[in-house]
Amino acid sequence: MKQKVVIEVSMNHQKSRSKAMKIAVGATGVESAALKGEGKNQLEVVGDGIDAVVLTTLLRKNVGFAELVWLMVDSLDLNLIQQN
């Protein structure tokens, strides 16, 4: 079951960005991770069997504020934050 997860993380410096990337690629089932968005504050993770809640919690504990923004399982798109 292929998944794509986007997590918005409060990352102000390069050190926090690299720390977030280390945590993301160390999670079970992750195939790739990339920084996206304006200011590189969104972490896009692709993999098989990723637990998005556990990953978000790890980022929140070790990096700073983290919020699960978007989750796509196979071809089912779940937009978690509705923009007005």
CATH number, domain with residue 55: 3.30.70.100
Whole-number pLDDT of residue 72: 85
Whole-number pLDDT of residue 30: 93
Q: How far apart are CA 12 and CA 80, in angstroms?
A: 24
Q: State the pTM of this model.
A: 0.82
**Residue of 53, 39, 2, 44 lying closest to 25 (CA atoms):** 44
Number of H helices, E strands in the chain: 2, 5
Domain count, the chain: 1
| pLDDT tens per residue across all 84 residues of the chain | 789 999 999 988 899 999 999 999 999 999 999 999 888 899 999 999 899 999 999 999 999 999 999 888 876 666 665 554
Whole-number pLDDT of residue 73: 83
* 24 domain residue, yes or no: yes
What is the domain range of residue 41? 2-75
* 83 domain residue, yes or no: no
Q: Taking phi first (over 0 means left), then psi (-120 to 50 degrees means alpha), and beta for anything else, what does residue 74 get?
A: left
* 84 domain residue, yes or no: no
